[in-house]
A and B are shown apart, each in its own frame.
Chain A
Amino acid sequence: MQEITGLMVKRAKELLEAGEVQRVIGWTTGDFCYDVTPAVFTKAEDLEEGKFVYNSFCGSNLSKYLIQTLRNDINAVNTAKAMAARKGENPDDIPGPGKTLVFLKPCDTYSFNQLLTEHRIDKSLVYVIGVACRGMADIEKIKLMGASGITKVIDAGDKLEVKTIYGDKSFDKKDVLLEKCACCKGKEHKYADEVIDPEPLPEGEGKGPMDRMAGVTMLEEMTAEERYAFWNDQLSRCIKCYACRNACPACTCMKCVFDNPRSGVDSKANVTEFEEKMYHIIRAFHVAGRCTDCGECSRVCPQGIPLHLLNRKFIKDINEFYGDYQAGEAEGQRAPLVNFDAENDVEPSIVNEKGGN
């Protein structure tokens, strides 16, 4: 981890200093060593190790941060141009926004592609460095396994050495993986201008140890009543903090229906038991077919609601009904749920196969 962080910092500094990129989206430490948060760096000197981090707590998916960053930058340039014009200066003299460097883990690149497909970001304004990832740790699991008063966590190969005010502890990394990492789709970057991976794994290796659909199968095996009770229990804990939506790279609407008083489903206090669930049901439908299964929603939920199960049910159904489909596998995909294909679609009125030929 230290080695790769050093390489990342070095490349970022080079690119910033050469003027190839104007800013860098990466991670920085928060109040505790384990609450790493996304951050934008604009000066090479800010990119010191310690401030810029890449460790086992960099679970957050940075692709979504590109939307607002790029928007702000473009708007700033446009404002500057308008000001220049007003002052009688040549607006073309104002420099463009330049490129933004973003570090993406393999799973984050699926989201990046999905955002490209949905025209949410302009890739000519982005420089993507794919960074190797061997799975991110879940601090809640570490705490549950008995570590409290954590002062420092050191990555040591397959182990995490945790220093606490009560003494040191060591954990097998595979026991404390984030849910999304335990079900990792693979270590290949689906988009990158360059990749930093000091010790590449052999091709195809690195998938998570857990069956991604196990939870969905468990739900499918329940009776309708059991399933209802399960979701009732889970979703009744939702405090509508909207963290899942805010983190989700598929939730990128200019105006989210839950913030729009005209939509009829906007945020207000829950009046009935059903309204608690309504938000999640609507959100699941909105991201259906677009969700890359990046796992951010479940990761950020402060109530520990297993939101990924809703999304994976859709993914499983789509795979079963329309053939295997992985959102974000490539740019420009036509997702089965939102694709009219004139040649093969039954809608609106072409009748296919079924005895014809």
Chain B
Amino acid sequence: MQRIGVFVCWCGSNIAATVDVDRVVEAVKTDPNVVHAENYQYMCSEAGQKLIRDAITEHQLTGIVVCSCSPRMHEQTFRKTAEAAGLNQYMVEIANIREQCSWIHKDKDEGTEKAIILARAAIAKVCLNAPLQPGQSKVVKRALIIGGGIAGIQSAIDIADAGYKVDIVERTPTIGGKMAQLDKTFPTLDCASCIVTPKMVECAQHPNITIYAYSEVEEVKGFVGNFNVKIRKKARYVDETKCTGCAVCTEKCPSRKGRNEFNCGLDTRGAVYIPFAQAIPNVATIDATNCLHFKTGKCGICAKNCSANAIDFEQKDEIFEEQYGAIVVATGYQISDVTKFDEYQYTKHPDVVTSLELERLMNAAGPSKGVLVKPSDGKHPHDIVFIQCVGSRDISGRGKCYCSKICCMYTAKHAMLIREKYPDVNVHVFYIDVRTPGKNFDEFYRRAVEQYNVDYIKGMVGKVYENEKGGLTVQAVDLISNERVMLDTDMVVLAAAIEPSDGVKHIASMLTASIDTNNFLTEAHPKLRPVESPTAGVFLSGVCQGPKDIPETVSQAGAAAVKVVGLLAKDYLVTNPCTAHTDETMCNGCSSCERVCPYGAISYIDKEVMDKGVREVRRIAQVNGALCQGCGACTVACPSGAMDLKGFSNKQIMAEVDAICK
């Protein structure tokens, strides 16, 4: 016979208002296994916990049931309480009578009846609990950062400064991300390059940081503290160790048709290229699709001109494996597809550009050397229209339902910078509303309106078309005067929605991290654990988690780094003892369990078993306790019932069901 104690919490009035806690206590006392039951205002408080500890000692309890809030909230708390009183922490069960009972019921009788049933189920289960001992696993003291934008860079530097090794895997030839493409940055209008390139250099020079640029994560196995990652270093056809970054090859290359990604395709580059002068690592990359050598087998001009002898057409992708204790996802964002909004003529007229393209047009290192010109004819524009929320806050189904958050600010920035540099240019901004919360942000926007006379018009643009003069006409409605607006202009800039980078879904799948319906990675708790993913050991940094500007990105990157450091500082992690295991005499070796395990925890061995006096070799499932997350998928897939889960055995679950159905 077990000696069970039941502790019913009022949670102030949260529970007590809809559940008659006295009646619950009386009801559970009738269970022959229950030797003690009581209720209290706040069980989780120190006084409440003391009640529990005292009762454990006084009544020599072998198990306890706490009827309170969700186990996600306080299971840990009460487990510690039990341990403190000398009771194994796995002899604790929580009956959730708050979220699953008092909060959803109005009628007190109904709520009370349900609370009693939930308590009985928990009692039935705890009677079958067995003391479990958590194991230990070693922590690999190295972190992996996926994505080398400002988010990844900042997280890397912070982790490295704390004394741990960090590897950055960046899929493009250089780190820096979008920030390296920007011109000036709000709210202080300092030059983006001037603040991001020193950080890139810091990464390159930091003894604890290794950069794998032009590389991708191929496969992730393992678990928190012990991830095993395969990384593919894509062939650059340039030996990184020899290339000095002199860029002679990039000038000599006769193939000039490559899309210059760094300049958003506003101009072209050679087949061998360095994205920009401050690229890190500063080495050339050959893009095989445009390279004449790969097309015709001839050319090789780059190789002939390279004094370092770095060109290597024979180079192959290289895959290597590395162990990590923690992984930070910092894959950032991309500009969403604006071709779905072709009423703005983006695909038809070169003078309709996205804001990121405008950043390049205004950047001193950009295709027009920082002189603002119309892409169509290279002439100076006299009038510019900005359209906000292109694809953001969309209800038409073509775009994104969310607010991209940064566009109001960067549009104000663009407007102001243009008015500052070219006072002759008229600037109009069409907006739904202007959202500029943040330190010094609203002041910034007001400066654009008040000091720089930017013409802000509330209203969405219906369409843009080419007029007889070859310019553009913008047709819109001014929602304040309620009048139709027809504006002739020279350029239209679309503040396009931002979306998570391509391939993030694949990354999320490999990490079994979750993403939301918009492909942003989700955090473990939106308020309390904003930089952790729900998967242990995986952290989030930057726009991959949600739209944000640089200040927010950098703060989040630092926060993620702290979490990583906190993890890497430990030598061992406690492992969850609630893992699956097979009964060898019952296992068929059928592979059903292995096919459903999301964590790849199950493998097979041929093993000699003794069953009913017969010794035979059988194929038997084996669970790797370190990989098993205790999800229980295998136990329900197993036809013979050979697979069972410690702490949630088939018997325990059936006992709960029986108790509920009684």
Binding site for B on A (CB under 8 A): 71, 74-75, 78, 117-120, 252-257, 260, 262-264, 286, 290, 334-335, 338-340, 342-343, 345, 347-357
Check B651 for interface membership: any CB of A closer than 8 A. yes
Contact across chains for A350 and B595 when beta carbons are under 8 A apart: no
- Of the candidates A78, A118, A257, A357, the one whose C-beta lies within 8 Å of that of B591 is A118
Contact across chains for A342 and B598 when beta carbons are under 8 A apart: yes
Contact with A along B518-552 (1 / 0, CB 8 A): 11001000000000001100000000000000000
Contact across chains for B508 and A340 when beta carbons are under 8 A apart: no
What are the residues of chain A within 8 A of B509 when measuring CB–CB?
342-343, 350
User: How would you classify the secondary structure of chain A's contact residues: helix, strand, loop or mixed?
Assistant: loop
For the complex, give the distance between the alpha carbons of A215 and B505 in Å.
43
Contact across chains for A351 and B516 when beta carbons are under 8 A apart: yes
Contact across chains for B640 and A340 when beta carbons are under 8 A apart: no
**A-B pairs with beta carbons under 8 Å apart, 23 shown:** A75-B616, A118-B591, A119-B589, A119-B604, A254-B587, A254-B588, A254-B618, A255-B585, A255-B642, A257-B641, A260-B640, A339-B595, A340-B598, A340-B633, A342-B512, A342-B598, A347-B598, A348-B512, A348-B598, A351-B516, A352-B505, A355-B518, A356-B516
Contacts A119-B589, A120-B588, A255-B640 aside, 19 further interface pairs with beta carbons under 8 A come to A75-B614, A118-B588, A118-B592, A252-B588, A253-B586, A253-B640, A254-B640, A254-B642, A255-B586, A260-B640, A340-B596, A340-B597, A342-B509, A342-B512, A345-B598, A347-B598, A349-B534, A350-B515, A354-B517
For the complex, give the distance between the alpha carbons of A75 and B641 in Å.
25
What are the residues of chain B within 8 A of A340 when measuring CB–CB?
595-598, 633
For the complex, give the distance between the alpha carbons of A254 and B615 in Å.
13
- Of the candidates B513, B517, B534, B615, the one whose C-beta lies within 8 Å of that of A356 is B517
Contact across chains for A349 and B514 when beta carbons are under 8 A apart: yes
Instruction: Choose among B506, B515, B588, B639 the residue with the greatest number of A CB atoms under 10 Å from its CB.
Output: B639
- A254-B611 CB under 8 A given contacts A119-B589, A339-B596: yes
- Of the candidates B522, B587, B597, B616, the one whose C-beta lies within 8 Å of that of A74 is B616
* Shortest CB distance B125–A (Å): 15
What are the residues of chain B within 8 A of A252 when measuring CB–CB?
588, 590
Contact across chains for A350 and B586 when beta carbons are under 8 A apart: no
Check B631 for interface membership: any CB of A closer than 8 A. yes
- Of the candidates A257, A338, A351, the one whose C-beta lies within 8 Å of that of B637 is A338
Check B510 for interface membership: any CB of A closer than 8 A. yes
Report the nearest A residue to B519, measured CB to CB: A356
- Of the candidates B510, B513, B517, B586, the one whose C-beta lies within 8 Å of that of A254 is B586
* Shortest CB distance A85–B (Å): 13
What are the residues of chain B within 8 A of A290 when measuring CB–CB?
639
- A118-B590 CB under 8 A given contacts A334-B595, A356-B518: yes
* Shortest CB distance A194–B (Å): 28
What are the residues of chain B within 8 A of A286 when measuring CB–CB?
639
What are the residues of chain B within 8 A of A342 when measuring CB–CB?
509-510, 512, 598
What are the residues of chain A within 8 A of B585 when measuring CB–CB?
254-255
Closest 3 CB pairs of A and B: A349-B514, A253-B640, A118-B590
For the complex, give the distance between the alpha carbons of A103 and B44 in Å.
68
What are the residues of chain A within 8 A of B401 when measuring CB–CB?
355
Contact across chains for B619 and A119 when beta carbons are under 8 A apart: yes
What are the residues of chain B within 8 A of A262 when measuring CB–CB?
641
What are the residues of chain A within 8 A of B508 when measuring CB–CB?
350
What are the residues of chain A within 8 A of B506 when measuring CB–CB?
343
Q: Count of B residues near A, CB < 8 Å?
A: 46
Contact across chains for A253 and B614 when beta carbons are under 8 A apart: no
- A256-B640 CB under 8 A given contacts A345-B598, A350-B514, A351-B514: yes
- Of the candidates A74, A256, A264, the one whose C-beta lies within 8 Å of that of B651 is A264
Binding site for A on B (CB under 8 A): 401, 505-506, 508-510, 512-519, 522, 534-535, 585-592, 595-598, 604, 611, 614-619, 631, 633, 637, 639-642, 651, 654
Report the nearest A residue to B655, measured CB to CB: A264
* Shortest CB distance A94–B (Å): 15
User: How would you classify the secondary structure of chain B's contact residues: helix, strand, loop or mixed?
Assistant: loop
* Shortest CB distance A74–B (Å): 7
- A260-B598 CB under 8 A given contacts A75-B614, A343-B509, A350-B514: no
Contact across chains for A253 and B598 when beta carbons are under 8 A apart: no
Contact across chains for A119 and B590 when beta carbons are under 8 A apart: yes
Report the nearest A residue to B516, measured CB to CB: A351
Instruction: Choose among B401, B510, B514, B598 the residue with the greatest number of A CB atoms under 10 Å from its CB.
Output: B598
What are the residues of chain A within 8 A of B618 when measuring CB–CB?
254
For the complex, give the distance between the alpha carbons of A332 and B585 in Å.
24
Instruction: Choose among A257, A263, A338, A347 the residue with the greatest number of B CB atoms under 10 Å from its CB.
Output: A338
Contact across chains for A349 and B640 when beta carbons are under 8 A apart: no
- A78-B631 CB under 8 A given contacts A118-B592, A254-B588: no
Report the nearest B residue to A75, measured CB to CB: B616
For the complex, give the distance between the alpha carbons of A349 and B598 in Å.
10
What are the residues of chain A within 8 A of B641 when measuring CB–CB?
257, 260, 262-263
For the complex, give the distance between the alpha carbons of A252 and B640 in Å.
9
What are the residues of chain B within 8 A of A355 when measuring CB–CB?
401, 517-518
What are the residues of chain B within 8 A of A263 when measuring CB–CB?
641
Contact across chains for A338 and B518 when beta carbons are under 8 A apart: no
For the complex, give the distance between the alpha carbons of A175 and B586 in Å.
44
* Shortest CB distance B660–A (Å): 16
- Of the candidates A71, A253, A349, the one whose C-beta lies within 8 Å of that of B639 is A253
* Shortest CB distance A255–B (Å): 5
- A78-B616 CB under 8 A given contacts A253-B588, A254-B587, A348-B598: yes
Contact across chains for A71 and B616 when beta carbons are under 8 A apart: yes
Instruction: Choose among A254, A255, A343, A357 the residue with the greatest number of B CB atoms under 10 Å from its CB.
Output: A254
* Shortest CB distance B505–A (Å): 8
* Shortest CB distance B535–A (Å): 7
* Shortest CB distance B619–A (Å): 5
For the complex, give the distance between the alpha carbons of A264 and B655 in Å.
11
* Shortest CB distance B507–A (Å): 11
What are the residues of chain A within 8 A of B517 when measuring CB–CB?
351, 353-356
* Shortest CB distance A172–B (Å): 41
* Shortest CB distance B547–A (Å): 15
Contact across chains for A260 and B586 when beta carbons are under 8 A apart: yes
Report the nearest B residue to A285, measured CB to CB: B639
- A348-B519 CB under 8 A given contacts A119-B591, A342-B509: no
For the complex, give the distance between the alpha carbons of A90 and B591 in Å.
35
Report the nearest B residue to A67, measured CB to CB: B588
What are the residues of chain B within 8 A of A356 when measuring CB–CB?
515-519
What are the residues of chain B within 8 A of A352 when measuring CB–CB?
505
* Shortest CB distance A247–B (Å): 17
For the complex, give the distance between the alpha carbons of A347 and B637 in Å.
14
What are the residues of chain A within 8 A of B590 when measuring CB–CB?
118-120, 252
- Of the candidates B596, B598, B619, B631, the one whose C-beta lies within 8 Å of that of A338 is B596
What are the residues of chain B within 8 A of A345 when measuring CB–CB?
598
What are the residues of chain A within 8 A of B619 when measuring CB–CB?
119
- Of the candidates A118, A343, A348, the one whose C-beta lies within 8 Å of that of B631 is A348
For the complex, give the distance between the alpha carbons of A35 and B340 in Å.
70
What are the residues of chain A within 8 A of B651 when measuring CB–CB?
264
Report the nearest A residue to B506, measured CB to CB: A343
Instruction: Choose among A334, A343, A355 the residue with the greatest number of B CB atoms under 10 Å from its CB.
Output: A355
Contact across chains for A349 and B535 when beta carbons are under 8 A apart: yes
For the complex, give the distance between the alpha carbons of A96 and B513 in Å.
49
* Shortest CB distance B587–A (Å): 7
